[in-house]
Amino acid sequence: MSAVNSIPSGYKVNGCGATRESTVGYKQTEVGVIPEDWEVKPLIEVATIATGNTPPTSVSANYGDEYFFVSPADLGEHKYILDAGKKLSQKGFGISRKFPSSSVLFTCIGSTIGKCGIAPIELTSNQQINAIFPDKSFSSEYLYYELSFLSPRIKALAGEQAVPLINKTQFGESPVALPPLPEQRAIAAALSDVDALLAAQDKLIAKKRDIKQAAMQQLLTGKQRLPGFSGEWEVKRLGDIATFYKGNGLAKSELDPYGSEPCIHYGELFTRHPETITKILNRTNTTDGVFRSVSNDVLMPTSDVTPNGLARASCVQQAGIVLGGDILVIRANPKELNGSFLSYVIRQLREQVMRLVSGTTVFHLYGADMKKFEFAMPPVDEQQAIVQILDDMDADLAALEQQRDKTRAVKQGMMQELLTGRIRLV
C-alpha cells in the first residue's frame, strides 16, 4: 500500500489517527472542509456525461454475446466491470451510445442509485446509468472513489419519489472535490492497493468455500472415509430416529440486546447461523410459554416467501435457549445422531428437502414432511469426526471473512481521510 508521506498542517497524530486541530490550510466548501489547494467543480465542468440507451428488445438480432450491455445489477461488486448480465450483438452495439474505456458509470434511478464502476473496455448501458467519459484533466480511478464516497449525498437529490430518480442535469451539477492531478493519482493508487487486497481475500474465501463443498460431498455420502473408519452406513428415515417440535412466539419486537434470556429468532436461521451454532446472537425478556432448546437440537425455518431458504439447518449445542415460532426443532438421541452432522446432511441434500416443501405464495416445511427425509448415517463416532473436519473448515472461513471485513473497514476509513484531504499523500 502507498505510504503516507506527510500529515497536513493543522493535524496531529494520536491513537485514533490524524485529527484536525484547526482549519489552517483548509476551506469550507459544498462537499465539506478540504485543503485550500483543492478545487470543487460540478461534474459537467469536468467531463462529458452521457446516458445509456436500450436497443429495441423486439429485435432479437440486437442481442448476442459480443459487447457488454451494462445494467445496475452489474455495478457495485468490483471497481472494474468484469461482466454484464446482458450482451449485445455487433448490430445492437452499433446503434447504442458507446462509452469509451475508463468511463466511470453511475446508477441514477431506482433503489440502486449510487452504484459505480469503471469500464475496462468500450461498452454501453441501459438508460438507468450515466457515464462520465475519461479526460486527461482528471483520473478516472480517483473520480470513481470520489463518487463512491459522495454517493449518499448524490442519492439524496432523488428525494422521496415512488421511483427515485436523479436526472442528467442534477447529476451533472453535483460538486466533486478535485485535488491536483498527481494527488488524485496517488489517492487512487492507495485505495486501489486496498481493493487488490480485498479481491485477493475474496478469491481465497471463494476457494475455501469450494474446498469445503467438495469435502461435504465426499464425507457426508461416505465416498471418502476418514482414517480408522470402515463398515457400511445405514440408510435412515428421520422420522424413525427423531422427535419433532415447534418453537413458540418471539416476535422481533420482543428481542432485547440486554434481555435476561438468550434466544434464537427464526429469521436468524436463514443467514446468520452456520451448521453448528457456537454463539447465541439475541436475547429477550419473554419467559411465559416459551419453548427451550435441548443440547444437540437441530433447528430449521418452517416458512419463507421462497422455498430455497427452507433447506437450512443449524444445531444448537446449548440447552435452555428460547426458540421462537416458525422454528422446526428436530430432537434425537445424541448417542445415535450428532445434530451438527444432521445439519450438514440436510444442507447437502437440499434437493430432497425442496421436494418436501409445500405452498405457493408462502412456502412451508412441517415436521410431518421432514419425517420422510432419508439419509445415510454412519456410527456416531464417525459422525463426530466428520463434523470436526467441517467445523474446522467453517472456523477457517469465518476467520478469513472477519479479516476481509476489517480490510473493508480500513478502506472506508482511508476514503474518509484521503478524499477529504485530512491526510495528504503528496
Task: State the Cα–Cα distance between residues 44 and 52, nearest whole angstrom.
Answer: 17
Task: Identify the residue with better confidence: 24 or 153.
Answer: 153
* Residue 88: exposure state from Cβ atoms within 10 A (0-12, 13-18, ≥19): buried
Domain 40-178 matches domain 234-377 at the CATH topology level: yes
Task: State the Cα–Cα distance between residues 359 and 121, nearest whole angstrom.
Answer: 46
User: Are 237 and 371 within 8 A, CB to CB?
Assistant: yes
Options 3.50.50.60, 3.40.50.2300, 3.90.220.20, 1.20.120.160; CATH of 234-377: 3.90.220.20
pLDDT of residue 308: 85
Q: Is the pLDDT of residue 268 over 50?
A: yes
Q: In this structure, which long-range contacts are made by residues 24-27, counting pairs with CB atoms below 8 Å and at least 24 apart in sequence?
A: 26/421
Reported pTM: 0.81
Q: Is the pLDDT of residue 19 over 80?
A: no
Task: State the Cα–Cα distance between residues 423 and 396, nearest whole angstrom.
Answer: 35
pLDDT of residue 76: 87
Q: Spell out the SS3 assignment of 2-49.
A: CCCCECCCCEEEECCEEEECCCCCEEEECCEEEECCCEEEEHHHHCCE
User: Are 173 and 45 within 8 A, CB to CB?
Assistant: no
Q: Is the pLDDT of residue 12 over 60?
A: no
The domain defined by 40-178 folds into Adenine-n6-DNA-methyltransferase TaqI; Chain A, domain 2 (3.90.220)
- Provide Rg for the chain, Cα atoms: 27
Task: State the Cα–Cα distance between residues 105 and 112, nearest whole angstrom.
Answer: 13
Q: Is the pLDDT of residue 415 over 50?
A: yes
Q: Tell me the average pLDDT of the chain.
A: 92
Give the pLDDT mean for 266-277.
94
Model confidence pLDDT, tens digit, residues 236-255: 999 999 999 999 999 999 99
Q: Is the pLDDT of residue 192 over 60?
A: yes
Model confidence pLDDT, tens digit, residues 337-346: 999 999 999 9
Q: Is the pLDDT of residue 294 over 80?
A: yes
pLDDT of residue 4: 39
Give the pLDDT mean for 76-99.
94
Task: State the Cα–Cα distance between residues 394 and 233, nearest whole angstrom.
Answer: 25
Model confidence pLDDT, tens digit, residues 108-136: 998 889 999 999 999 999 999 999 999 99
pLDDT of residue 423: 93
Model confidence pLDDT, tens digit, residues 155-178: 888 877 788 899 899 999 999 999
pLDDT of residue 6: 38
Listed by start position, the domains of the chain span 40-178, 234-377
Task: State the Cα–Cα distance between residues 131 and 107, nearest whole angstrom.
Answer: 9
Task: Identify the residue with better confidence: 337 or 15.
Answer: 337
pLDDT of residue 23: 66
Angle in degrees, 0-180, between the axes of helices 380-418 and 181-219, rounded to the nearest 10: 170
Task: State the Cα–Cα distance between residues 141 and 154, nearest whole angstrom.
Answer: 18
Q: Is the pLDDT of residue 379 over 60?
A: yes
Q: Is the pLDDT of residue 17 over 80?
A: no
